[in-house]
A and B are shown apart, each in its own frame.
Chain A
């Protein structure tokens, strides 16, 4: 899946691919794609896929790639081997050891009808965030198309606008919008979407004032969903809730409260969030939730879009520039324009 327009812009985007290791060409390391099919006949794909992604991405722009074999050799220096699977919180240490800015890893599973489902994760060492997405394609006949499509998704996300879209949002859909716009500006945003044929739920719009500032809404840039996600990586093992007889009752109560909050808002956050969104869905009957964050001077915006029916993240885009009217026009144009499939 890719947009021709996006690919046409690749040369411009290349210069903006920011390396965490300043001054250097970014290094992308490709780990294994683990076979979850329980059919050992397909184990060979565990390295074929990452090698193909690495070659494909290297052909498109200037990036240093590390394939599984090369990573293994680097890790030998530390008396380590490249594991098939890592916990997200282990990736910071791994990427530091192999001097990689990005680490790409995942799984695949064979589906009925000669199809294959690939779940891919792209970890960014500098930001300590991981972008996860799923793509389904046909085996044998379309395997190279699938590789190109997934490479296209990675390239788009690495670009200036950090673009990702799995499907368009048809006119007539009912959308709920979270934003940091207020008053007349919020009205304009609603106007743009309503005039474009969308039904707009009154989330936020049912108040005179909006307390969300541009700083606050930036908290919403990370988003977890059923299939595709963009999340901060936290390390549950590093969190300690130490207590004992020495702590006293009050401290124990406090630490118990924090521990419970940590469970609800980190470990089980996805479920917690969707439980609340389910309630919102009951009142507003929304198809999609769009989170649109504007900067203070309203010259730039980013968007996240969740499909509440499938609980899926379907759209991410950043650095959309212009004023409020032109940003609205860009958003509407993007969400209504069919994505060109390769």
Chain B
């Protein structure tokens, strides 16, 4: 009876895992290894306790971890509230609508381009003022596997990506070590 329940649980988690990974296969690509003594900013969306464990692993492995938090990166919705423009575009006469709609769409696109420019400026400042050489983004999940990505801030190139099939287990350190081994070229 117990083994049947276990089999159902395993089947369900496999199904959930495959659904959540649809189109996002387990992949790994390392353009160039990240040296262990590099200055890194690790951005991870996780509770503080878990975040500390993750950062501790990076420190333990020899990285110079800079104090950057995910919340230091604002979201586009915080900065650009362009919905107001749509509201005022309706103030005009009816025949204005089509032409202003095009201007509104273009304005919307420009905000996305501008947002990317602003982020690039922030990253350049991180590199120049705080000597952050690599930006590391991690997403660790309880099921469905996590993913990681590293950016070389000298060139703004993506240098490492991994979609890991390994989910967040009781042994968080092991999972983070897997990611570190992967980005440093040890795995």
Contacts and interface: CB of A to CB of B under 8 A. Distances in A.
A144 interface: no
Contacts of B113: 273, 276-277, 280
B99 A238 contact: yes
Contacts of A242: 93
A325 B23 contact: yes
Interface residues of A, number: 60
A208 interface: yes
A126 interface: no
B102 A266 contact: yes
Given A178-B112, A187-B162, A201-B156, A276 B107 contact: no
Interface stretch (B1-9, B56-64, B119-127, B171-179): B119-127
B157 A202 contact: yes
A234 B98 contact: yes
Contact of A219 (B105, B123, B124, B147): B105
B75 A184 contact: no
Interface string B27-46: 11101000000000001110
Interface in B91-126: 91-93, 95-96, 98-100, 102-110, 112-114, 116-117, 119-121, 123-124
B98 A235 contact: yes
A283 interface: yes
B120 A239 contact: no
Interface in A246-299: 254, 257-258, 261-262, 264-266, 269, 272-273, 276-277, 279-280, 283-285, 298
B70 to A, nearest CB: 6
A40 interface: no
Contacts of A5: none
A187 B96 contact: no
B167 to A, nearest CB: 12
A199 B159 CA distance: 9
Contact of B107 (A183, A212, A265, A284): A265
A207 B120 CA distance: 11
Interface stretch (A46-54, A75-83, A155-163, A189-197): A189-197
A232 interface: yes
Interface string A161-193: 000000000000010001000011101101100
B92 A269 contact: no
Nearest to A328: B23
A154 interface: no
A37 to B, nearest CB: 33
Given A187-B161, A188-B163, A232-B102, A283 B24 contact: no
A220 interface: yes
A212 B112 contact: yes
A244 B91 CA distance: 16
Contacts of B70: 208
Given A184-B145, A232-B102, A207 B157 contact: no
A324 interface: yes
B48 interface: no
Contacts of B121: 283
26 contacts: A184-B139, A187-B162, A187-B163, A188-B27, A190-B161, A191-B29, A201-B158, A202-B135, A205-B137, A206-B135, A208-B45, A208-B139, A211-B76, A219-B105, A219-B109, A236-B99, A239-B92, A240-B93, A241-B92, A242-B93, A258-B88, A266-B106, A269-B106, A272-B106, A273-B106, A279-B120
Given A222-B105, A323-B23, 11 more contacts: A183-B139, A184-B21, A188-B24, A194-B158, A201-B156, A202-B156, A203-B116, A234-B99, A262-B100, A279-B120, A283-B156
